[in-house]
Amino acid sequence: MKEDKEIFILDTSAILTYIEDEEGAEYVENILVTAEKGDVVIYVCFISLTEVFYITMQEKDESEASSRIRLIQSLAVRIEESSESLNLGAGRIKATNSISLADAYIAGLCQELGGVLVHKDPEFEKLSSLIRDYRLPYKTS
């Protein structure tokens, strides 16, 4: 699957940065606005919805978690569900790198689409030879 526009993949950390208005939120907002205009395409891996939901439920409550999922679904993003090719790509990445399964899926989607991964997760530094990325400012505390 190849788009004729620049492709971005939002990691869970980028989504939470945007929602919680952390440092780097303006970058995520700018690409979302650009996607709304149709100039770029943004994907979110299905597993990021799970991560946003459980992290928010742990830190806040289920109502807020559900609200955040609805917000993500309302954005100019394409939610990419699991597929055989994504499963195998994530499996290859997980088998050869010490990263979480969720991050393997997100990186696998990035590889499959040839997009730029937007994140603030140091774990992706291990994959710099496999994927293109844009690193939001890492949290210092």
89, two tokens: 């790509």
pLDDT tens-digit series, residues 18-29: 999 999 999 999
Q: Could you tell me which of 40, 43, 63, 59 has the C-alpha nearest to residue 51?
A: 59
pLDDT band at 3 (very low <50, low <70, confident <90, very high): low
Strand locations in 46-92 (E): 78-80
Domains and CATH numbers, the chain: 6-135 (3.40.50.1010)
- pLDDT tens-digit series, residues 35-49: 999 999 999 999 999
CA distances from 5 to 21, 71, 97, 112, 133 (A): 27, 24, 30, 15, 16
